[in-house]
Amino acid sequence: MIANWSEAQNNNQVMAISDFKSGESCSRRTSLRYVSACVAILWAAVIPGNAQISFTSAINLALQNSSRVKIAENDVQKAQAALAVTRDIFIPSVVASGGAGYSYGITLTVPTIFTINAQSLVFSPSQRFYIRAAQMDLRAALLTLADTREQVEEDTAITYLSLDHAQNTVAAFKEEYGFASKLVSIAQDRLHAGVENELDLKKSRRAAIQIELNELQAEDNLGVLREHLGDLIGLPGNRLTTVADSIPSPPSIEVSMASYSLHHPDTSIALSAEANAEAKRQRASGDSRYTWMPQVVFSAQYGRISPVNNVSDFYNLHGNYNAAFAGIQIQFPLLDKVRSAAARESIAEASRATHQLEVLQGEQRENRLKLQHSITELLTRSELAELDQGIAQDELKTTMIDLKTSSGGRLTTPEDEQNARIRERQRYLDVLDAKLEVFKAKVSMLRQTGQFGAWLQSLIQAPPVAPGTRE
């Protein structure tokens, strides 16, 4: 049901740039994606319970369902057609026309029953630059398609990770709220026994209500993430759940300052901007080479002279009613103010595109540096959160031992046990948050360094998990 992962990655930059004539295979893939998406929707509709979907399956379905990807594919098709226009201008266009009518006196043009005209461009110095510009436009469209697919994949991956995090967070808050409720019950019993005052009970109740509020907020966030993932993959989101075993390990990224000095390949969007700037430069060169440059045009014509318009009374046809012509025409444009103004406009656009590329490349370098520092800090914060959780677990174990032995100085109470359990769950939630932030930062870093597609490609080692159920 899920499309092959390698097909979902068929927009590898090198392959995509060289594959200018993939229209037919693209249409077949579109049909297959439509069928698989329909099957997935029917599957989700007939299966009771919560529908599980694996990490890689979600990304595949998102690529098939994404309107942004389809728009980018349409742009590629448009660029392919535009390139064909610049090349097909050298192929003669043939027009046939015919008709009959009444004429009086000598006609301004020889009337014909039908006429066939053919015309094409033979040589133009500007046209080769227009062809190169169209090729660069196609390259830019293909690279934009690659970047759009990566955007959808990144959005789906982060949403999936966030959904799994939200599920674990809700479960942890439920456990924490159970411990807080027991703490309130203990506080009530101690109040009735005269051991505690009403202030302690109010504090316990407030802590329980705060945890309940956190749980409600986590459930709301869980619902939003489910709906967003459902929108991405084209399935009902209210019953979607993640498969924890399908989530890959966080990608390994070298975050030392020495690694930052190494050259990273430009991302697809930067390469697309570079191709777009080159297209504008080529188009400006073509516009600038119009005046004082020869234009060679081929033209041919055949006509059957009308025998019903008394043409022979005015023209000596010698009984021949066929007329034909074929030849070339050479033109030298001497003055064309419109073309000159258009050339200046094209040069300004090319310069602007070049400056935009420089700005984009600068932003990418800055974002890489920020992400590198961010990953270092997040890794440290994650390590600290894990240590805090370990300390809380050890304290909980110590509290449980003290409850059983009841030896030592201060007497350990059930209230201490519930507080220790609550602290352990709070530290566990901190670990979940820290790990999610590290994973998201690493995914963003992969996108910024052009390694995101290779990382996703490596996930083919594990077979995708088809949607299933979990009661």
Q: Is residue 469 part of a domain?
A: no
Q: Give, as one character, the DSSP assignment of residue 311.
A: G
Mean pLDDT along residues 434-449: 91
| Sheet containing 93-98: order of strands | 93-98, 112-123, 295-305, 322-331
Does the structure show a pLDDT above 50 at 259?
no
**Does the structure show a pLDDT above 80 at 154?**
yes
Distance CA 138, CA 132 (A): 10
User: Average pLDDT, whole number, for the chain?
Assistant: 83
What pLDDT is recorded for position 110? 82
- pLDDT score at 157: 94
Residues 105 and 135 in one domain: no
Distance of alpha carbon 201 from alpha carbon 199, whole angstroms = 5
Query: 3-state DSSP call for residue 300?
Result: strand
Question: Which of 151, 205, 147 is CA-nearest to residue 181?
Answer: 205
Same domain for 381 and 285:
yes
Task: State which H helix or E strand residue 470 sits in.
Answer: strand 468-470
Contact predicate 33/94, CB 8 Å:
no
> Which pLDDT belongs to residue 3?
35
Q: How many CB atoms neighbour CB 246 within 10 A?
A: 20
Q: Per the domain annotation, does 41 fall within a domain?
A: yes
Query: Is position 349 within any domain?
Result: yes
Distances (CA, A) of 116 to 102, 119, 328: 21, 10, 17
The tokens describing 171, both together, are 């479960």
Q: Are residues 49 and 192 in the same domain?
A: yes
Confidence of residue 49 (pLDDT cuts 50, 70, 90): low
d(CA 326, CA 471): 80
Q: CA nearest 3: which of 36, 31, 30, 27?
A: 36
Higher model confidence: residue 259 or residue 315?
Answer: 315
C-alpha to C-alpha distance for 416 and 424, rounded to whole angstroms: 12
pLDDT category, 29, cuts 50, 70, 90? Answer: very low
**Whole-structure pTM value:** 0.78
- Within 8 A by CB and 6+ apart from 329, the residues are 296, 297, 298, 299
Last residue of a domain, one of 331, 350, 379: 331
Identify whether residues 440 and 323 lie together within a single domain: no
- Using the predicted structure, report yes or no on whether residue 5 has a pLDDT greater than 60: no
Same domain, 253 and 344: yes
What pLDDT is recorded for position 13? 39
Q: Alpha carbon of 369 to those of 254, 262, 442: distances in Å?
A: 12, 12, 13
CATH at 367: 1.20.1600.10
How many domains does the structure of the chain reveal?
Answer: 2
What average pLDDT does range 44-52 have in this prediction?
A: 56
For residues 92 and 299, give the distance between their C-alpha atoms in angstroms, rounded to a whole number: 8
Q: Give residue-wise pLDDT tens across range 271-304.
A: 999 999 999 999 999 989 888 888 999 999 999 8
- 68 within 8 A of 152, measured Cβ to Cβ: yes
Question: Residues 59, 168: one domain?
Answer: yes
Query: What one-character DSSP code corresponds to residue 197?
Result: -
Identify the band that residue 318 occupies on the pLDDT scale cut at 50, 70 and 90.
confident
Pairing of the two strands 50-53 and 240-242: parallel
Higher model confidence: residue 109 or residue 406?
A: 109
Domain that holds residue 187: 5-88+131-291+336-461
In a domain, 304, yes or no: yes
pLDDT at residue 128, as a whole number:
93
Clarify whether residues 308 and 408 are in a common domain: no
Element (H, E) at 239: none
Whether 446 is in a domain gets the answer yes
- The answer to which of 320-329, 449-458, 461-470 has the lowest mean pLDDT is 461-470
pLDDT for the residue 467: 44
Same domain, 69 and 140: yes
262 with 300, same domain: the answer is no
Instruction: Specify the pLDDT at position 367.
Output: 87
* 257 has a pLDDT exceeding 60: no
The pLDDT value recorded for residue 312 is: 76
* Cα distance between residue 37 and residue 45, in whole Å: 12
Cα 306 to Cα 303: distance, rounded to the nearest angstrom: 9
Over residues 213-225, the pLDDT tens digits come to 999 999 999 999 9
Three-state SS string over 5-73 comes to: HHHHCCCCHHHHHHCCCCHHHHHHHHHHHHHHHHHHHHHHHHCCCEEEECHHHHHHHHHHHCHHHHHHH
Of 307, 331, 355, which residue sits at a domain end?
A: 331
Interval 356-382 mean pLDDT? 89
pLDDT at 412 over 50: yes
- 326 and 387, same domain (yes or no): no
Note whether 196 and 172 are within 8 A (CB).
Answer: no
Nearest to 147 by CA among 13, 282, 293: 13
Are 376 and 446 members of one domain? Answer: yes
Q: Return the closest-CA partner of residue 95 out of 303, 306, 308.
A: 303
Residues 266 and 413 occupy one common structural domain = yes
Instruction: Find the radius of gyration of the CA atoms of the chain.
Output: 36
Cα 70 to Cα 234: distance, rounded to the nearest angstrom: 14
At residue 461, the pLDDT reads 56
271, two tokens: 């390469």
More confident residue, 86 or 43: 86
Percent above pLDDT 70 for the chain: 83
Position 466 in a domain: no
Check whether 447 has a pLDDT greater than 50. yes
271-285, 321-335, 457-471: least confident range: 457-471
Number of Cβ atoms within 10 Å of the Cβ of 178: 16
- How many other C-beta atoms can be found within 10 angstroms of the C-beta atom of residue 411? 10
Tokens coding 60? 């595949």
pLDDT at 296: 93
More confident residue, 73 or 48: 73
Q: Which of 315, 331, 347 delimits the end of a domain?
A: 331
What's the pLDDT score for residue 18?
A: 44
Name the packing angle between helices 125-192 and 414-448 (round to 10°): 180
Q: What is the CA 406 to chain-centroid distance, rounded?
A: 61
Please report which confidence band the pLDDT of residue 437 belongs to, taking 50, 70 and 90 as the band edges: very high
Specify if 362 maps to a domain.
Answer: yes
Model confidence at 97: pLDDT above 70: yes
252 in Cβ contact with 72 (< 8 Å): no
Measured between alpha carbons, how far is 166 from 225 in angstroms, rounded to an integer? 8
pLDDT band, residue 409 (cuts 50/70/90): low
Distance CA 83, CA 85 (A): 5
Q: How far is Cα 151 from Cα 311, in angstroms, rounded to an integer?
A: 70
Q: 228 lies in a domain?
A: yes
Asked if 272 contacts 144 with a C-beta cutoff of 8 angstroms, the reply is yes
Q: How do residues 36-47 score in pLDDT, each as one tens digit? A: 444 444 444 434
Q: Which has more confidence, 465 or 1? A: 465
Q: What does the pLDDT average to over 223-251?
A: 90
Half-sphere exposure of 461 (CA within 13 A, CB side): 8
Mean pLDDT of 404-427: 81
Q: Which of the four pLDDT bands, split at 50, 70 and 90, describes residue 256? A: very low
Which of the listed ranges 257-266, 315-324, 366-375 does the model predict with the highest average pLDDT? 366-375
What percentage of the chain exceeds 90 in pLDDT?
52
